[in-house]
Amino acid sequence: RKEVEQDPGPFNVPEGATVAFNCTYSNSASQSFFWYRQDCRKEPKLLMSVYSSGNEDGRFTAQLNRASQYISLLIRDSKLSDSATYLCVVYLSNDYKLSFGAGTTVTVRA
Amino acid sequence: ETGVTQTPRHLVMGMTNKKSLKCEQHLGHNAMYWYKQSAKKPLELMFVYNFKEQTENNSVPSRFSPECPNSSHLFLHLHTLQPEDSALYLCASSQVAGITGANVLTFGAGSRLTVL
């Protein structure tokens, strides 16, 4: 079983729509969780950390479900500029390794 | 310069060549990383240096040889590579490796390597 799994998509949505997708992780001892964004042919950049209580940053909402071992990302009022690949990242404490998912591609169309 | 800079941005090499990738960070971080990104695959961690000490070698073939002379610079020396090594090589840094809250990565723009 992969350490971090994501639906590769693509999720094709119109501008203004809401889009949401999940990421599952295999190790129940995982400590911290992140969403990174990667634009085409660019480097990944931190979008947001994911906290136990869930957190929001503008139009982006991240949730953590430890019981079912998944995190989610919801994007409201999608913009064309939200088109990117969203990488789920999971960190197991006392390990130097951050485990990355393969990414979920979102395409927002006009 | 700010952030993490990588050179060269593009590299084409034959299987018998020797080349090096360079990474420099201007963030005052103490940990630096090499990742490999192949199409449609998750980022693969190759090496981690924490306070200049190598703390992770993720079963990487010896044709890849890292060097970390100080906390701000990281090199990846390449020798007798294979075509399947063609990929985007990403350097990253964080405040410290292995500590929750201090391990958020800042990536460089990457070096796209093609092995003929």
Average pLDDT in chain B = 92
**Would the CB atoms of A91 and B100 count as touching at under 8 Å?**
yes
Distance between CA A25 and CA A63 in Å, rounded? Answer: 14
Which site among B104, B111, B112 would you substitute to test the A interface, given the most A Cβ atoms closer than 10 Å to its Cβ?
B104
pLDDT at B65 over 70: yes
End-to-end CA distance of chain A: 38
Q: What is the rounded CA–CA span in Å between residue A33 and residue A100?
A: 10
More confident residue, B6 or A27: B6
Q: Tell me the DSSP string of B30-55.
A: SEEEEEEE-TTS--EEEEEEETTEEE
What lies within 8 Å, CB to CB, of B51 at 6+ separation is B30, B31, B71, B96
Q: Is the pLDDT of residue B101 over 80?
A: no
Res. A51 pLDDT band, cuts 50 70 90: confident
Whether the ω angle into residue A10 lies within 30 degrees of 0, i.e. cis, is yes
pLDDT at A95 over 80: no
Q: What is the mean pLDDT of residues B75-103?
A: 91
pLDDT > 70? residue A85 = yes
According to DSSP, the residues that pair with B74 across neighbouring strands are: B23
Could you give the 3-state DSSP secondary structure of residue B106? strand
pLDDT tens figures, A53-79:
889 999 999 999 999 999 999 999 999
Top residue of A43, A46, A52, A97 to mutate, by most chain B CBs within 10 Å, is: A43
**Which chain A positions have a beta carbon within 8 Å of B98's beta carbon?**
94-96
- The dihedral over CA atoms of B32, B100, A64, A66, expressed in degrees to the nearest 10, equals 120
